[in-house]
């Protein structure tokens, strides 16, 4: 029927097909409901895995033919009410609507010209019950709803929420535009953290409060101790100089007494150094965040790579959950 399904067949240690276990998605499990005894019988009688797969395909095709769409149409009042609400709101604000008229995506623009989307998932009791609202915001979006409410009310509440977050996004846009942000690579509007390059193998991880974006953010420095410790000291000593009237980025520059590397002069590759063990930048989503403290070395490593490397060295020693050993690059 032109549909793809993923299954996993777990064979026992003796590789006997009759004792195999089948794992699949809940959707496929639902389709094959009632065919379990046939599948068990096929597992027992099929000589090999290939012939079982052929029989499984046959069983699945029969099951799909017998699976009728049990979706009952929603009451006509639902559709007439929904179409009326969309017309009041304006079709120009709709970017997507599914064929069943149950999922609608609306676009909105804040006062700074930033584009935003809100996805509404409706149920048959609309407008008595509100739709589920999916938004890309850093704070919870709670809709105020009565049976008399409409899509226009949700849309206006969404616009109000966007305006409340204007200062937060101004702050994040300035950081993204004027510094080298290494993480996240493509930040969503809900992302509150940024990992910013300060220098070669020196980063600061900041977490901004979306409701108080002009306040001092959570700061966590990554890099060799001889570089990071002076930065921590400056931040602690100058914390009282934080001025909520100027931008967060300017405050960080003043407190740390630094200039963030310019996007105009340097490339991202100047900071995003690969791990000295696996020679990759990303490993299962993680980036190299362990840096050798030797000033002439400063080579970064993934924590997992470094741990595995040090565990294999006879000269390494471990105390509780900390492992000590020599740098794979400079042997310090």
pLDDT tens string 75-131: 889 999 999 999 999 999 999 999 889 999 999 999 999 999 999 999 888 999 999
Please report the pLDDT score of residue 68 as a whole number.
58
> How many residues belong to the chain?
332
**Domain 274-331's class?**
alpha beta
What lies within 8 Å, CB to CB, of 245 at 6+ separation is 214
CATH architecture label of 179-272: Roll (3.10)
Tens-digit pLDDT profile for residues 198-242: 987 788 999 999 999 999 999 999 887 888 899 999 999 999 999
Helix (H, G, I), strand (E, B) or coil at 228: helix
State the Cα–Cα distance between residues 128 and 151, nearest whole angstrom: 12
Contact 20, 43 (CB under 8 A): yes
Least confident of 46-55, 59-68, 70-79, 225-234: 70-79
Fold match, 76-170 / 179-272: yes
DSSP state of 144: P
Domain map of the chain by residue range? 7-70, 76-170, 179-272, 274-331
pTM: 0.67
**Domain 76-170's class?**
alpha beta
Tens-digit pLDDT profile for residues 275-294: 888 888 888 877 888 888 88
C-alpha distances out from residue 84 to 150, 158, 326, Å: 9, 20, 71
Max CA separation in the chain (angstroms): 78
């Amino acid at each position: 029927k032109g549909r793809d399904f993923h299954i996993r067949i777990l064979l026992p240690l003796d590789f006997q097909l009759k004792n195999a276990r089948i794992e699949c998605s809940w959707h496929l499990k639902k389709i094959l409901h009632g065919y379990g005894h046939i599948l068990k019988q096929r597992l027992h009688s099929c000589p090999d895995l290939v012939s079982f797969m052929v029989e499984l395909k046959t069983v699945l095709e029969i099951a799909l033919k017998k699976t009728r769409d049990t979706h009952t149409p929603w009451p006509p009042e639902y559709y007439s009410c929904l179409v009326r609400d969309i017309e009041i709101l304006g079709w120009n604000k709709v970017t997507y609507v599914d064929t069943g008229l149950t999922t609608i995506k609306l676009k909105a623009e804040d006062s700074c010209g930033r584009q935003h989307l809100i996805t509404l998932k409706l149920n048959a009791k609309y407008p008595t019950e509100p739709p589920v609202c999916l938004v890309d915001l850093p704070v919870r979006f709670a809709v105020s709803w009565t049976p008399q409410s409409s899509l226009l009310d949700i849309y206006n509440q969404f616009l109000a929420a966007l305006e409340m977050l204007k200062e937060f996004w101004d702050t994040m846009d300035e950081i993204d535009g004027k510094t080298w942000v290494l993480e996240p690579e493509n930040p969503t509007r809900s992302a509150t953290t940024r990992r910013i390059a300060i220098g070669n193998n020196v980063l600061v991880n900041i977490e901004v409060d979306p409701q108080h974006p002009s306040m001092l953010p959570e700061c966590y420095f990554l890099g060799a101790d001889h570089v990071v410790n002076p930065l921590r000291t400056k931040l602690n000593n100058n914390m009282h100089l934080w001025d909520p009237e100027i931008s967060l980025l300017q405050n960080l520059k003043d407190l740390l007494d630094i200039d963030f590397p310019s996007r105009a002069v340097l490339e991202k590759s100047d900071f995003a150094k690969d791990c000295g063990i696996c020679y990759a930048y990303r490993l299962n989503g993680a980036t190299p965040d362990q840096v050798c403290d030797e000033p002439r070395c400063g080579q970064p490593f993934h924590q997992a790579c470094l741990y595995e490397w040090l565990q294999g060295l006879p000269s390494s020693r471990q105390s509780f959950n900390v492992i000590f050993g020599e740098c794979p690059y400079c042997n310090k």
